[in-house]
Chain A
Amino acid sequence: MTSLVSVDAVVLAPALAPVLGVVLVLVGDAVRPGRSRWALPLAGVVLVAGALVALRGSLGSELEPLRTLCLPAPDGACLWTAGPRTSTLQAAVLLASAAALALLHDGRAGRRDTAVTATLLLASATGGVAVAAARDLGSWLVALELATVPVVALVALRGTRSAAHGALSLLVTSLASFALLVLGAALWLTATADATFSSEAVAAAWADPDRRRVLVLAVTLLVAGLGFKLSLVPFHAWTPQAYAAADLGTTLFLAAASKVSAVAALLVVVSALVGAAPGPAVAVLLGLPAVASLLLGTVVALRQDDPVRLLAWSTIAQAGWVVVPLTAVSATGLRAAAAYVVTYAAATTVALAVVARTGARTLAGTRGLLRRDPLAGGALGLALLVLAGLPPGVIGLVVKVLALSAPVAAGVWPVAAAGVVAVVLGLAVYLRWVAVLLARPEPADGPGEEAGDTAHGRSTRVVVVAGTVVLVLVSALPQLLVGGLS
Chain B
Amino acid sequence: MTPWLLVLPTVLAAGLGVAVRRDDRWAGALAVTGTGVTLLLALVAWISQSGTVVGHLPSLPLGDLEVPLTLATDPVRLAVAAVVALVATAVQAYSTWYLAADDRYGQFAATVSLFTAAMLLVVVSSDLVLTVVGWEVMGWCSYLLIGHWSRRPAARRAALKAFLVTRVADIGFVLGLVGLAAGARSTDLGAVVRAWDRPTACIDAAVVSGSSLGDALGACGAPDATLRAVLLVLVVIGVLGKSAQVPFQDWLADAMEGPTPASALIHAATMVAAGTVVLAGLFPLLADSPSARWVLGLAASVTMLLAAVLAFAQSDLKRMLAWSTVSQVAIMLGAVAAAPDGAGPDAGLLHLWSHALFKSLLFLAVGWAAVAAGGTAATALRGSAAAAPVLRAAFLVGFLSLAGVPLVVGGVSKEHVLATAWDGAVAGDGPGIVVLVVLVLTSAVTAAYSTRGYLVLTAHVRQRPTAGGVTPAASAVLWVLTVLVVFGGLVLLTGTFAVGEVSLLWLLLTVLVVGLGVAVALRGGFDRDPAEVLARRLTPHADRGLGVDAVYRRLVARPVVRLARVVAFLDTEVVDAYVRGTAVATRAAGWTGVRLHRGERPSAGVGLVLAAVVVLGLVGVLAWS
Give the interface of A toward B (CB within 8 A): 165, 168-169, 171-173, 176-177, 180, 209, 212-213, 216-217, 219-221, 223-224, 227-228, 234-238, 240-241, 280-281, 284-285, 288-289, 295-296, 299-304, 425, 428
Contacts and interface: CB of A to CB of B under 8 A. Distances in A.
A408 B593 CA distance: 29
26 contacts: A165-B602, A169-B600, A172-B606, A173-B606, A176-B609, A176-B610, A216-B624, A216-B625, A221-B613, A224-B616, A227-B612, A228-B609, A234-B608, A234-B612, A235-B612, A237-B605, A238-B605, A240-B597, A241-B600, A280-B623, A280-B624, A285-B616, A299-B590, A300-B590, A300-B594, A300-B597
B114 to A, nearest CB: 48
Contacts of A241: 600
Interface of B: 586-587, 589-591, 593-594, 597, 600, 602-606, 608-613, 616-617, 619-621, 623-625
Q: Is the interface of A mostly helix, strand, loop or mixed?
A: helix
Contacts of A284: 619-620, 623
Contact of A281 (B591, B608, B623): B623
Contacts of B594: 300, 303-304
B620 A219 contact: yes
Given A212-B624, A284-B620, A224 B593 contact: no
Contacts, number: 106
A281 B586 CA distance: 30
A168 B603 CA distance: 10
Contact of A176 (B587, B593, B606): B606
Nearest to B610: A176
Contacts of A235: 605, 608-609, 612
A237 B606 CA distance: 8
Contacts of B617: 216-217, 220-221
Nearest to A238: B605
A223 B605 contact: no
Contacts of A425: 586
A340 to B, nearest CB: 22
Given A180-B613, A240-B600, A217 B608 contact: no
A436 to B, nearest CB: 17
Nearest to B620: A216
A173 B610 CA distance: 10
Nearest to B611: A234
B620 A217 contact: yes
B593 A216 contact: no
B624 A281 contact: yes
A241 B601 CA distance: 9
A155 to B, nearest CB: 12
Q: Which 7 pairs from chain A and chain B are nearest by CB?
A: A237-B605, A300-B593, A281-B624, A303-B590, A216-B620, A234-B608, A169-B602
Nearest to B599: A237
> Which of A209, A212, A217 has most B Cβ within 10 Å?
A217
Contacts of B605: 169, 172-173, 235-238
A224 B616 CA distance: 9
> Which of B611, B612, B616, B625 has most A Cβ within 10 Å?
B616
Contacts of B611: 234
Contacts of A171: 602
A397 B393 CA distance: 85
B621 A217 contact: yes
Nearest to A303: B590
Contact of B616 (A176, A228, A288, A299): A288
B61 to A, nearest CB: 37
A299 B584 CA distance: 11
B613 A224 contact: yes
Given A173-B605, A173-B609, A176-B610, A428 B586 contact: yes
A238 B604 CA distance: 9
Contacts of A165: 600, 602
> Which of B593, B597, B609, B612 has most A Cβ within 10 Å?
B609
A215 to B, nearest CB: 9
